[in-house]
Amino acid sequence: MLGSIKNLIIKKESIILIVLAIIFLLLHSTPNTALRTKVFFMGYPKAALTSAIIDDEYHNEVDKNKFAELNAKAYSLTKPPIEKATQGELRNFLVKKFGFLHFAEYYGEG
């Protein structure tokens, strides 16, 4: 009896871990989903879900060599969230590719 309960607990934990791993992979599988995930977890769910994402042509051209080394590309939000402390727009993000996963970070205006 105790062994079957232990096996059931292990199965449940394994299923939870597998589901979490699948969710992580899905949220980082494309540049757009990685960027939306980053903005969402920065505390701006409305912007993450409603803003369109476009290539940041300016930064991609100016920083072309740097981005090539980083395996990265810059993107901009068309309806960026406003940062609460500084009232600045969080418009530009850099998305780096590691293998088949993408990770976004705020890039700023410069």
What is the domain partition of the chain in residue ranges? 2-106
Closest CA to 36 of 50, 22, 23, 56: 50
Sorted by sequence, the CB contacts under 8 Å of residue 77 that are 6+ apart come out as 35, 39, 47, 51, 52, 53, 90, 91, 93
* pTM of the predicted structure, to 2 decimals: 0.85
> pLDDT digit string (tens) for 39-60?
999 999 999 999 999 999 999 9
> pLDDT digit string (tens) for 55-109?
999 999 999 999 999 999 999 999 999 988 888 899 999 999 999 999 999 998 7
Sorted by sequence, the CB contacts under 8 Å of residue 101 that are 6+ apart come out as 25, 28, 29, 34
Q: Quote the distance between the C-alpha of residue 32 and its chain's center.
A: 8
